[in-house]
Every structure is written in C-alpha cells, then in structure tokens.
C-alpha cells in the first residue's frame, strides 16, 4: 500500500469523486469506487463515497493498492471462433459463447486475444498489456462479430471511431414479452449496481447510455428485437431491457424467467452481435460484417416459431 496526500485541483471542482480521482490519478472509476468502499479515500479527514462531489482546495488522502502485475495472455486455440476478415490493419472475428475478449482477474477460460495469438495473428501493442489491440468488447455470454486492431494506426483510428460513435453496432436480442412501443429509444444512464458488483443498473448520475430498438418478430412469450447501440456501456442492452421489464430471454442475472429459458434450452442470454460497420482505418472506405446466429440461439427461435 502507498499513500498520496494532495489538495483537490481547481479543475476538479464539483466533479464526482470517482470521475475526478480517475482523471487525477489515471485509475479506472471502478478502482476508485472500490477504494471509497474500503474507506481509503478521505477528504479533509473524512471518508467519502464515490458519488460525493469534490471541492477545490479540500485536502485529499488516498491509500492506493499495490500495482497489479499484468495478466499474461495464454496463446490457446479457441474452438468455434471464426475469422471473418483479416488484412494488415484489422482482424474481424465471430466470437463464440463462453469466450472473453481478453484476460481479466478471475477469468480462466478462453479469450479472443489468446485465440488470435494461437492462430499466429499479431495484433497491435497499444492498450493495457492484457488487452492490446482491443477497441471494444462483448460479454463472454454474448456471441457475434467484433473487430481487433492489428496495426497501431488502426488501433488509434478505431478507438476514436468508437468514442465518437461513428461505428454502426447492430445486435439482435430475444426479449421477454412485447415492448410497447414496438419501436423506440431507451435513454437511461448506467452505473455499477449499488449492491452487486458483478451487475450494472440504470442509476441517476451514471454514464449516459442510449439504445435504439425495433421489434422484428413477435411470439407468444417473447419478441425478436433489432437493436442499435449509440453508446457501448458494459451490459447495456441487458440492463436497458431489464429496466423495461423485458429482459433478454435466458438472462437470469437480469431477471429473466428461468422456466422459459429451460423450455428453450438456453443457458445464457439470447443476445447476438449481428452486424458491425465502420470506416476502414486504411482508406476510410465503409465496411460491414455480419454474423449468423449460433446453434443455441437459432434452435430457441425455431422452437418459438413452431409454437406460433
């Protein structure tokens, strides 16, 4: 452990503790939130919460954790991962279920970057050691199309494109019930769940999060929805539809009906990254990639259609 003491700079006046200290110390907001929960962040001698506001000139006392050693990438082939496109700048993959994008604490399963390494695909060295070349992510339980940067130029161009929201991210989701209206926009901020660290929730003061949707097909108990993401928050689609009381079928973490999931033989959320479009970092030409439904999602849909 190491301690830092310093005054709150004028530029952080009025900012939330997690956002301000993230900017000041170069830590993630999640790490800062964890420090506040343990009482390791004091302002003028008093412990503060992550959503408290900073006052310029106040005296900060922060007990920092020891830096973690980088997680090593294991070059292990990933069964079922398909390369849809590869050139000098990018590699586009179809990610199977049960595969994380990059290594992280507590995850011992297969990863996209490990699978690419095993296949001899060299990716960009930009980014944190365990997620070099990664410009966006999919949950381990979400399948579909994603891009990884191979060149440093592609990494910077694609990172900027995702930040500036010029990337077209299309998902298909099977949600419980029938959203009303059948076409709309969910604009609700998302933050880490106040009680469960592994979940997220719609929260006042969270990060702005915008999801556009349109029902493509309606069944007795569920609806197949086309989803466009304007932002890319962790678990965004799952959280937003759960907040509407229409969770993704099979998503027991966010309130899905276990009986329906069992009947459709689903062991994860019915959510698939269907399309991904962006300006190619080499020449600026628009490219788009499509991923077909994997067997478990296709079988669940076929069962619903046979009952309609």
The DSSP code for 73 is P
Q: Are 133 and 123 in contact (CB under 8 A)?
A: yes
Name the residue with tokens 């095993």: 118
Q: Are 304 and 219 in contact (CB under 8 A)?
A: yes
End-to-end CA distance of the chain: 61
Which among 89, 94, 139, 251 is annotated as catalytic?
139
Peptide bond into 198 cis (omega under 30): no
Q: Are 20 and 12 in contact (CB under 8 A)?
A: yes
What would the two tokens of residue 122 be? 């060299």
- Residue 205: how many CB atoms within 10 A of its CB? 11
Dist. CA 89–CA 269, nearest whole Å: 32
Contacts of 56 (CB under 8 A, 6+ apart): 7, 8, 9, 10, 12, 13
Q: Are 264 and 175 in contact (CB under 8 A)?
A: no
26's torsion region: left (phi>0), alpha (psi -120 to 50) or beta? Answer: left
Name the residue with tokens 């990438």: 73
Which is it for strands 190-192 and 200-202: parallel, antiparallel or unpaired? antiparallel
Helix (H/G/I), strand (E/B), else coil: 63: strand
Q: Is 139 a catalytic residue?
A: yes
Question: Which residues participate in catalysis according to the annotation?
Answer: 139
């Amino acid at each position: 452990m190491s301690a830092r003491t310093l005054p709150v700079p004028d530029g952080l006046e009025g900012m939330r503790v997690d956002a301000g200290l993230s900017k000041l110390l170069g830590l993630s907001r999640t790490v800062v939130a964890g420090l506040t929960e343990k009482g390791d962040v004091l302002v003028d001698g008093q412990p503060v919460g992550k959503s408290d506001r900073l006052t310029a000139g106040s005296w900060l006392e922060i007990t920092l954790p020891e830096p973690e050693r980088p997680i090593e990438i294991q070059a292990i082939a990933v069964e079922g991962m398909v390369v849809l496109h590869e050139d000098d700048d990018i590699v586009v993959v179809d990610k199977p279920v049960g595969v994380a994008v990059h290594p992280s604490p507590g995850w011992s399963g297969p990863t996209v970057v490990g699978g690419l390494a095993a296949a001899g695909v060299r990716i960009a060295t930009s980014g944190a050691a365990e997620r070099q070349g990664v410009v966006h992510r999919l949950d381990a339980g979400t399948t579909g199309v994603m891009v990884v940067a191979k060149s440093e130029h592609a990494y910077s161009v694609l990172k900027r494109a995702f930040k500036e929201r010029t990337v077209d991210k299309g998902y298909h989701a099977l949600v419980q019930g029938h959203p009303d209206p059948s076409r709309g926009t969910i604009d609700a901020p998302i933050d880490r769940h106040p009680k469960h660290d592994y979940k997220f929730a719609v929260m006042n003061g969270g990060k702005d999060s915008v999801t556009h949707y349109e029902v493509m097909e309606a069944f007795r108990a569920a609806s197949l929805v086309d989803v466009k993401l304007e932002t890319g928050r962790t678990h965004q689609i799952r959280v937003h539809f759960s907040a509407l009381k229409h969770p993704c079928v099979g998503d027991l973490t966010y309130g899905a009906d276990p009986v329906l999931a069992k009947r459709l033989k689903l062991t994860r959320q019915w959510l698939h990254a269907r399309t991904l479009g962006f300006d190619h970092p080499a020449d600026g030409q628009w490219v788009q990639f499509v991923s077909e439904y994997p067997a478990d999602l296709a079988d669940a849909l076929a069962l619903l259609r046979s009952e309609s």
